[in-house]
Amino acid sequence: MLPLETEPAMEEDREDDPERSYPELTSVLARLTDRYRQVLELRFLSGLTLKETAEALDMKTNAVKVLQHRALKRAQQLAHNNETD
């Protein structure tokens, strides 16, 4: 079997392109509320567990789960708006 060649245009459209993703990520994070940005930064950029994040924010673990869920949902909405603009 011959390997499939990837068209250059397809490679440019990849969503996991770090050069494209980083500016989009920073744009989305900048437009989140402080609390939403804080929970996402602690959880995903700093790599803290739910328990560690709860301690850092002086919250209960379940409250962090809810906050994280809402923050991710809002970030997704903002990212989608970036795509349609």
Q: Which CATH number does the domain housing residue 42 bear?
A: 1.10.10.10
**pLDDT in the model for residue 64:** 98
Residues 6 or more apart whose Cβ sits within 8 Å of residue 32 = 40, 71, 74, 75, 78
Would you say residue 18 lies in a domain?
Answer: no
Would you say residue 61 lies in a domain?
Answer: yes
**pLDDT in the model for residue 83:** 75
**pLDDT in the model for residue 84:** 76
- Distance, in Å, from the CA atom of 85 to the CA atom of 80, rounded to the nearest integer, reads 9
For the residues 20-40, what does the mean pLDDT come to?
91
Residue type, 35: R
Would you say residue 77 lies in a domain?
Answer: yes
Would you say residue 16 lies in a domain?
Answer: no
Which is nearest to 74 in space by CA: 25, 26, 32? Answer: 32
Q: Is the dihedral of CA 83, 81, 78, 65 positive or negative?
A: negative
Would you say residue 84 lies in a domain?
Answer: yes
Print the domain residue range for 38: 31-85
Question: pLDDT higher for 49 or 26?
Answer: 49
For the residues 12-29, what does the mean pLDDT come to?
72
For the residues 11-36, what does the mean pLDDT come to?
78
Would you say residue 42 lies in a domain?
Answer: yes
**pLDDT in the model for residue 3:** 52
Instruction: Report how many domains make up the chain.
Output: 1
